[in-house]
Amino acid sequence: MRKIAVIMSGNAPHNRTFNEPKFNKYITQLIYFPEFEQTVLEEFDVLLFPSQLNEKLLMRAANKVRSFANNGGIVVAFGPQPWEWLPNQKWEERETNFWWWLEKGAKSGLVLAAPHYDLFNYLTLTDATWHQHGVFWPPNGAEKLITTEDGGAVMYVDKVSTKGTLIITTLDPDYHFGAYFMPATERFLDGFIPWLAEGKI
């Protein structure tokens, strides 16, 4: 099992999500974000950064996070990220349609780009479908897992920008589960967190 550290802002959705027993049992340590700079990271295999973290703290943490990745670590980033605190993040903001599923002939616009990837032994595209905030355009050599129909990445794995692994997604399951809405987000976390701890990345 990989040792996972989750970086916490202390907001209510983070507290609810990452203290939920079925998720927390996979987490080695919860790190309060203002204390991140003073935290020794050598014991961890994975750093998970939830959505809705403070921009200034993210930028301040960038060098330490990149160093962790360059030492072979796995860095996971949830949610819309318009700041380049990780290398080669090419973010494109898009209008969010929160009610697409009410439209006639509703389609999410999401595509499973790498159905062979081990993550999808743990969850399905339906488990990763609620709404979208934008897309990333990853560097050559990164693997897109979930995309929009025009190829923008909603989730991708980047093993080329550092000596480690970056798992980056626009999805924000931690916020929605922690705020008690969007059932798909619980199913996503039910698969994603165990995969992060024990799967093939």
pLDDT per position as a tens digit, 49-60: 999 999 999 999
Model pLDDT, residue 27:
98
Cα–Cα distances in angstroms (integers) from residue 124 to residues 29, 31, 111, 117, 168, in the given order: 28, 29, 11, 11, 17
Say which CATH superfamily domain 4-198 falls into. Answer: Class I glutamine amidotransferase (GATase) domain (3.40.50.880)
Q: Which residues contact 201 (CB under 8 A, 6 or more apart)?
A: 74, 118, 157, 165, 167
Tell me the three state secondary structure of residue 85.
coil
List pLDDT tens digits, range 97-136. Answer: 554 455 665 565 799 999 999 999 999 999 998 877 889 9
pLDDT of 4 over the 50 cut? yes
Tell me the three state secondary structure of residue 148.
strand
Average pLDDT of the residues in 16-43: 97
Beta strands in the chain (DSSP E): 4-8, 29-32, 46-49, 74-77, 91-93, 110-112, 134-136, 143-148, 153-158, 165-169
Model pLDDT, residue 44:
98
Residues in the chain: 201
Tell me the two tokens of residue 116: 């062979």
Candidates 169, 181, 165; CA nearest to 128 is 169
Average per-residue pLDDT for the chain = 92
List pLDDT tens digits, range 142-192. Answer: 999 999 989 999 999 999 999 999 999 999 999 989 888 888 899 999 999
